[in-house]
Amino acid sequence: MTKQPRERLDATAWLARHLLGPAQVSDPRRTGRDTTEAEQEREGALHDGFERVRDASGRVYLVARGDDA
């Protein structure tokens, strides 16, 4: 099995891949679709069921809300 050569990226390609993320496929001037009622209910349930917590090192993560809070 032969080893594949690594792809060499210039600075612009590296920035585009690692900082900007994947390319947008749709027309960026087109407005997005409205959310459905089911999606809004799910979003509300997620916000009500979890809480953002920051630890001592500064990392942020989600913790399930307890009934005792």
> How far, in Å, CA of 33 to CA of 37, rounded?
13
* pTM tops 0.85, yes or no: no
45 within 8 A of 37, measured Cβ to Cβ: no
Task: Kindly give the confidence (pLDDT) of every residue in the chain, 69 residues in length, as a single tens digit, with 9 standing for 90 and above.
Answer: 567 667 676 888 777 777 777 677 777 788 888 889 999 999 999 999 999 999 999 999 999 987 654
